Structure 1
């Protein structure tokens, strides 16, 4: 999931990400309880996140997103081998 958001300076990025990841995971688990069985360690989101400003380093963000998509494809292929 990739988002572009406007965040007021008084809100820390870590607080924002904690709320986004925590609340969305709870809602998804409530709506689709069967996904818990598919996840390792009951974690819906990965631990990390990437933050940068658009405009100043937009190309860096684009490269990061492309790299993440490739990494996710590799992970999905590995998971298929385990099934």
Structure 2
């Protein structure tokens, strides 16, 4: 799907209940903040127009989307690897990754507790 006004292409889309993931091909002359603003603005308009009864209680203050966003470059990862990551966002974590995450959080907590307090 090509968006003519900003010359970008939506390659992949996925997400969860409270956020979305997208792979978007865009020219380097387009500012990321401008792209995100247009995507959020147009999608908010379209979602409100089509699904108002379902979304009228799902606002961030007076806004449909949170004002924040995260943009990550995928470096040398192949498009297939990034697509699989996005597609997997609706799947619950497997037990191995859940254990690894819990262990990492436990280590982080111990490090924070071991630091001396600053005056």
Asked if Structure 1 and Structure 2 have the same fold, meaning a TM-score greater than 0.5 normalized by the shorter chain, the answer is yes
Alignment partner for residue 53 of structure 1, among 70, 73, 79? 73
Contact 1:36–1:42, Cα closer than 8 Å, also in 2: no
Root-mean-square deviation (Å): 2.7
Asked whether 1:37 is paired with 2:57, we answer: yes
Paired residues, number: 63
CA distance in structure 2 between the aligned counterparts of 1:22 and 1:39, rounded to whole angstroms: 14
Contact 1:21–1:45, Cα closer than 8 Å, also in 2: yes
Q: Which has the higher helix share?
A: 1
CA distance in structure 2 between the aligned counterparts of 1:27 and 1:18, rounded to whole angstroms: 14
Query: Structure 2: which 5+ runs fail to align?
Result: 1-19, 78-84, 90-119
User: TM-score, normalised on structure 2?
Assistant: 0.44
What pairs with 1:71-82 in structure 2 (closer than 5 Å)? none
Identify the residue that residue 27 of structure 1 maps to in structure 2: 46
CA distance in structure 2 between the aligned counterparts of 1:49 and 1:38, rounded to whole angstroms: 17
CA distance in structure 1 between the aligned counterparts of 2:49 and 2:23, rounded to whole angstroms: 26
